[in-house]
A and B are shown apart, each in its own frame.
Chain A
Amino acid sequence: VTLLEQNPRWRLVPRGQAVNLRCILKNSQYPWMSWYQQDLQKQLQWLFTLRSPGDKEVKSLPGADYLATRVTDTELRLQVANMSQGRTLYCTCTPGQTNERLFFGHGTKLSVL
C-alpha cells in the first residue's frame, strides 16, 4: 500500500525558474511529514518536518533555496528555487516523533536545463 503520492516524478527546470512539488499523504496515521533531498552523489539530507496545516519554513542549501508548506493534514508542498544542481526530493511520513521508521515516497527528480 502506497502511503505517499509525489508529483511530478521528474521535472526539467530551466535555470533561474522555481518549481513546485506536492506530496499527498494517503494514511492519516502517519502525520509527521518531512522533505529530504538526495544530491547527485546520492547523499540524503533532511530538510524540513512540518506537522500542522499552516506550518511554513524556508531554508537555503548549496545549490537550491527551499520553501516548505504544510497545506492540509494530507498535503505537503515544496517550492525549489535558484537550483543550480540536479537533485531528488523525497517526501517522508512517520506516525510520531519517536524513533519509528520513515516511509519514503517515490521522489521527484529535478534536473537543471
Chain B
Amino acid sequence: QQKVQQSPESLSVPEGGMASFNCTSSDRNFQYFWWYRQHSGEGPKALMSIFSDGDKKEGRFTAHLNKASLHVSLHIRDSQPSDSALYFCAASEHGGNMGYKLTFGTGTSLLVDP
C-alpha cells in the first residue's frame, strides 16, 4: 500500500490561476513533509518544507499541514507556465534523524496554459 497518497494525478490551470495539490499519509510515523518539483529531464528540486500544523507561505507558494489527519497541501497562486512540472509530496519519519530517507507520493503533473 502506498504510504503517501497524492491527488489529483494531473491538473491543468490557466496562467495566473491557482493550482492546488493534496497529500495524505497513512503512516503516523511520518511527521515531516516536503514538497518537491521536477521539470522534464531534470532531477527533483525542493520547494518547501512544513513540519508544524498550519500554513507556511514562501512567495507564491503556500503549504498547509494538519498533523491530526496527516494531510498536507500545496497551493500555487498566480501560476506561470514555468510552474508546469511534476510535483511530489515527500515525508520523513518522526524523530528526524533519517531526514535523508524520504518517502515520496505518486506525484501530480501540473500544466499551466499560457
| A90 interface contact, C-beta 8 A | yes
Given A34-B101, A43-B106, are A107 and B43 also a contact pair (CB < 8 Å)?
A: yes
Cβ of B106: which chain A residues have Cβ within 8 Å of it? 42-43
Chain B, range 69-88, C-beta contacts under 8 Å to A: 86, 88
Query: Does chain B have a CB within 8 A of A56?
Result: no
Given contacts A104-B43, A106-B42, is CB(A99)–CB(B103) below 8 Å?
Answer: no
Smallest distance from the beta carbon of B61 to chain A beta carbons, Å?
A: 14
Interface residues on B, range: 20 to 34
Contacts of A102 in B (CB 8 A): 44, 46, 100, 102
Do residues A42 and B86 form an inter-chain contact, with CB atoms below 8 A? yes
Chain A contact residues (Cβ within 8 angstroms of B): what range?
20 to 34
Shortest beta-carbon distance from B81 to chain A in Å? 20
Docked-complex contact A94 and B44, CB < 8 angstroms:
no
A45, B99: Cβ atoms under 8 Å?
no
Q: Which residues of A line the B interface, CB within 8 A?
A: 32, 34, 42-46, 49, 90, 92, 94, 96-107
Instruction: List the 5 shortest-distance A-B pairs measured between CB atoms, nearest first.
Output: A104-B43, A101-B46, A99-B99, A44-B104, A97-B97
